[in-house]
Structure 1
Amino acid sequence: MNNFKKVALSLLVAGLAVGFSAFRTSDKKADALANTYYILSSNTNYQKVSGSQMPNLEGCRETADHPCVISFASDPGPSNLNPTSLPATPNFQSSEKGVWAP
């Protein structure tokens, strides 16, 4: 009976260790899923934003023909983009149109 308790306790501890490790997040995985955001800094230029958080949309101030904030699931590369010839379709476009001014 004593041996049975040791085996049961061992299985319980092993099960808990495996169960809790399934819910750990990896920092590398989170970075890989981060969007790259661009703000419309002038009527003819999107500028890459540092970090992976979406800029505050309250920064959209002036009227323009393009969305104030756009994002891509993967980094298209350049730090400045022309709004009329984007390298790919953004996966996010703000409904607010205008130049972003903090």
Structure 2
Amino acid sequence: MGKAKARNEEVSALIGFVSARNEEATARNVAVSARNEETNARIGVVSAPNGVVNARNRAVSARNEEATARNRAVSAQNEEANAQNEEATARNNAVSALNKGANAQMR
């Protein structure tokens, strides 16, 4: 009987030791949770303005895409105008050559 009682006391002491460690860990966890809640609150304060900035950035991006589409359309028109100018230049050069030939014959 003495051995069993001694063993029970050892086990009880171990249980008490483990319980104390668990209470310490719980206290640390509570402190960490409090810090996490503070951090989350700060993140929330920053997140709201970020949402506003993100919305503005999306609006600017949409306007930029519209401007890019307009610029592409203008570029296409410019390329068409350049092609027409090259054709006109070729015609003008041909006329100029004819005029030079006619002027030479008139001399």
Which structure would you say has the larger Rg? 2
TM-score (norm. length: structure 2)? 0.31
Given the two structures, how large is their TM-score scaled by the length of structure 1?
0.32
